[in-house]
Each structure stands twice: as C-alpha cells, then as structure tokens.
Structure 1
Amino acid sequence: MKFDKPIVKGVILKRYKRFLADIELSEDHGEHKKGEVITAHTANTGSMKTCWEPGWPVLISFNDSPTRKLKYSLEMTHNGKTWIGVNTAIPNKISVEAIADGTIKELQGYETIKPEAKIGKSRIDIYLYDGDKKAPTKQCYVEVKNVTMLQDERRAIFPDGVSERGQKHLKELISLKEQGIRACMLYIIQRRDVEIFAPAIEIDPEYARLLKEAHKAGVEILPYQCLIDENGVQVEKLLPYEL
C-alpha cells in the first residue's frame, strides 16, 4: 500500500489522551513552517510501548477534508533502526491486498474476499469463501491484529496492553473451529527489527492462554512482517512464532 495522501516529516514531542500527538514539523508544509508544532490524530488505542520516545522522527499524513478537525495523522515513527507503523487502520487494508495478490500464500484459493463479517454481536476482519455467501462451499474467517511492540530486541509481541476485545476474538475463532470452520489469526508486524512473534504473556496472560488454546483447537497463527518505508507499507514474509 502506497500512501495516497501527502506525507510530511516531523519529530514527535508527546502523545496524550490516546488519540493526540504533538509533532514538530521538520519541513515546511502549506501554511505550516518548519519548526512549527502541530497536533496530529493518532489512530491507535494501544499503549504504543516501544513505538515512540520524545524526539523520534515521524511521518504524518495530511488530509484537508472539511469534516476533519485535525488535518494531520500520525503514520510512522522511527527508533533509529526501523520505521514502525502505528496507524491501526492500515493492517486490514494491506492484509486484503496481500491475500488478493498472493503474498499470503496460506490464504489462497478462495473466490471472494470480504472485509469484515458479522459473527454474533461482533465482527471478524476478513471473510474468505467460495460459492454463495449464505451457503458457502468453502470458507475461512481471519482476524487481523497490528503488532508493533518490541521485546528483548528480537520479539514482536501482542498485545501492548490488556485486550479484552482481543480475548473475545480468540474465543470466537475457537468457536468457529469447533463448528468445523477454518479460522486464522493474522498478525501484521509493522517493524523490521524483529525475528519472531510471541504473545505478550506478562502484559495480558489471559490473551496468551487463549492463544495457546486457540492453537490447540486448530486456529492457524500467521505472523507476517511488513516492508515499511517512507513510501508506504506492504506485507512481505511469514515469521516464526512461539507460544
């Protein structure tokens, strides 16, 4: 996925109220001048641990829509080694692209890719199926998670805070498997300085327990690392995992 909106360089000063970040611009942009501090929207409900420190370079996108209160959005941070994709709206989009173009080999062979599918009172991110949606001949549900937290300088871990929503999704995937339906957890790792994926057992032991249970039940675990640079993000390769 290439950025489809203007990208501006800056330096992060602070993140606060979960959805806000103060950014000092590193270059002129429109009416804003280099050195000016703007407030950017941060589309990330997590803690963003290991994803930012004051003074880190960042990339922000600009959207001049009249319906937007904040015109800038935080897209990436840089820790001196790698860009880190912190916009949680990106993983679902690039996952669909990577299934469609054949990059995610494990999820090939389906006629239809449908973003979001209702299950009970919630939604699963991607639904793959053959034939009629009401009576599919083959189907697979895929839940997508954005992974950005670093542990021990080699592990990408999830979640970065207690995730009751994530726990619920694992229970739903286990239930699907019990009904004989294929189910997958797709972890999109938006940083390059990691070699392996693992659940964040010290942060959310219940999520880690449920992921083990899901794996035992037959839910597939697919941790895919991304290529990530100033032009955009794309899914690249499967990483090993440990539970």
Structure 2
Amino acid sequence: MRYATIKLATFISRPNRFIAHCQLAGELVVVHVKNTGKCLELLIPGVLVALNYLPSPQRKTDYDLVAVKTVTRWINIDSQIPNALAAAALNQGQMTLPQLDAISLVKREVVFRDARFDIAGTTGHGRNFFVEVKGVTLVNGKVAAFPDAVTTRGLKHVETLIQAQRQGYQAYLLFIIQVPQIEVMTINRALQPELAAAIATAQANGVQVLAYNCQVSAAEITIDRAVRFDLQQPFELPPIPEP
C-alpha cells in the first residue's frame, strides 16, 4: 500500500485524539490523526512524521498523519491499513491460513450474529471462515503487544470468534503489526487481562491466532512475514521520551 502524496513534517501537539498540529515547511498545519489510540510513546513533540496530502472540499483538513519516525524505524499508525493489507494478501495468495487451502472467495465487512468481522471467505472445498484483523503499533524493541488502550469491541470480537468456531466455521484472529523488525507478538495483559484470558479460551476452542509484521517507510507499508504469537511473552511498556 503506497500513499499518494507524502510530505514530511515535525509533530508539535495533539489537542485531541482526532487531530494534531504539525510544522510543515515553516507553516503550522492541522492534520487528521488516522489512529484514535493514545500513541503516547510515538507522538512526541519534535518527532518526524509522514503526512498524506489529500485536499478535498469535504474534508476539514488537507492532511492525514499516517506514520511516525522513531530513532530506528518508521511505524505506520493508519488504523485503516491493516484490513486492506490482510484482504489483499489473502486474495493474492501472499498469506496462508492454517488448516485451510485453496481459498476461492474473500469478502470484507461481513456480519455474523451481532458482530461484524473484517474478512469472511470460502475455500474451494466449501469450508467457511472468518478473520478478525487488529492493527498493532505498540512495540518495545522486537516485541509487539495489543492493545494500547482497553478495547471492549476487541473483547467482543474474540468472544464471537469462539461462537463462530463452535458453529463450524474456522475462525482467525489476525494481528497486523505496522512495524518492521518484530520477532514476537503478545497481549498487553497488564492493561486488559480479560482480553488475554478470552484469547486463551479462543485458542483452546480451535481459533487460530496469527501475527504478521510489515515493512514500513514514510510512503509505503507492505506485509513482510509471519511472526510468533506467544500469549505468555513478557511485555513492558516502552518509555515515553522527553520532548
């Protein structure tokens, strides 16, 4: 996935979860932040950010803040990207789902009971499956964790995946880590232990939990490779640098 027109800017402040102030070519601009998570360890005053220029009369801002440059790497924070990456990878055969082969149909945003899953599909042998996709931006070194804020919606999705698995579907929880150089994916148990417990129950019922990291630049993000998911992997929140 490549953004149309990327401009590099300096992050100044984030008055609320939807907008940020950035310095671009000597001008202070208001931009839309494409992630409602806290991102406190990323959006530090003075950090380099990537802005996608999308002017339109229907928009309140001309720019979307889509990526942040840390000391060692770019991190994509666009919350709409993971679903598109996953669907494209499945359609193009770049991603495999354990226990399935010959995927013949992939659909987006499919309702099941009182929930909406990101992806649904069918194999050539008539096996139906669901995939719920979660984007990940919280990392410390080579370990990634989800979530960075308590998610009741995410918990409900896991519970519904269990119901789908019990009704004969093959269910998947897929983490798209929007960060390069990651070796293991886990759950932020200190923040939301009930989510970790629900995922353990899901795995015991046959729900498959997968994780893929990405290659990321200011203007582009692509799925890289599968990484290990370990529910017991220790995780410490990264320090928040001084401005």
TM-score (norm 1): 0.90
Equivalent position to 1:190, from 153, 171, 178? 178
1:38-82 deviation line (CA, Å, top 9, x unaligned) = 111012121124322111111010112211111100110011111
Aligned to 2:191: 203
Q: In the alignment, what sits opposite 2:105?
A: 112
Aligned counterpart, 1:83: 74
* Greater relative contact order, per chain length (Cα 8 Å cut-off, separation 6+): 2
Q: After TM superposition, give the deviation of residue 231 of structure 1 in Å.
A: 3.1
Aligned partner of residue 91 in structure 1, secondary structure = helix
Map Cα deviations across residues 109-143 of structure 1 (whole Å, 9 max, x no partner): 22111011011222100011147xxxx92211000
SS at match of 2:126: strand
1:1-243 matches, cutoff 5 A? 1-3=1-3, 5-25=4-24, 34-106=25-97, 109-130=102-123, 137-151=126-140, 153-243=141-231
- 1:30 matched to which residue of 2? none
| Count of residues paired in the alignment | 229
**Unaligned residue ranges in structure 1 (runs of 5+):** 26-33
Which amino acid in structure 1 is aligned with residue 219 of structure 2? N
Task: Give TM-score, length-normalised by structure 2.
Answer: 0.90
Instruction: Give the aligned CA root-mean-square deviation in angstroms.
Output: 1.5
Compared with structure 1, are the counterparts of its residues 16 and 109 closer, same or farther at alpha carbon in structure 2 (3 Å cutoff)? farther
* Percent identity of paired positions between Structure 1 and Structure 2: 31
Cα pair 1:98 1:104 within 8 Å, conserved: yes
Name the CA distance, whole Å, in 2 between partners of 1:41 and 1:122. 28
Residue type of the alignment partner of 1:142: V
Letter in 2 for 1:113: V
Q: Deviations over 1:204-230 (max 9, x none)?
A: 111111111111111111100011113
**What secondary structure, in the 3-state scheme, does the structure 2 residue paired with 1:95 have?**
helix
Match of 2:237 in 1: none
Q: Where do 5+ consecutive residues of structure 2 fail to align?
A: 232-243
Q: Secondary structure at the match of 2:17?
A: coil
CA distance in 2, matches of 1:48, 1:144: 19
